[in-house]
Amino acid sequence: MEPTDSKKEAARKILVYFFGIHAESWPINERVIDKIGEMLLKERQCAKVIDALPRPGTLDKGYIKSQLRNNARRLAGGEHSYDVCRSAIKYGWERVVHPASQGP
């Protein structure tokens, strides 16, 4: 089944965000949409790990409590991408997504 134009447009924006402007010319098909879904799950897992890491500072009870609040606020804030997660996705997934755009 061929993706709708709106799905293709959204997929293209995601591809360009992660892989750069050259991804704008990649054909979009259902395999690409599936790979993007897998890729975004991995990016979300990466962000959750980074959100859980303590931030630099003095490790005392007050600091730990403040970091818990910051972690909760970041998680509740919704969508974001850390540069390190974005880079990991770019280098790990381009070789998966681009071939999927070339067909079965």
User: Mind listing the pLDDT tens digit for each residue in 33-54?
Assistant: 899 999 999 988 888 888 777 7
Task: Output DSSP code: residue 53.
Answer: S
pLDDT, one tens digit per residue, over 54-79 is 767 656 666 666 666 665 666 566 55
Q: Which two tokens stand for residue 97?
A: 């997504």
Q: Does the global pTM surpass 0.85? A: no
Task: Look up residue 14 and give its amino acid.
Answer: I
Cβ-Cβ contacts under 8 Å for 97 (sequence gap 6 or more):
15, 19, 26, 32, 35, 36, 39
Q: Can you tell me whether residue 16 is helix, strand or coil?
A: helix
Measure the CA–CA gap between 39 and 47, rounded to whole angstroms: 13
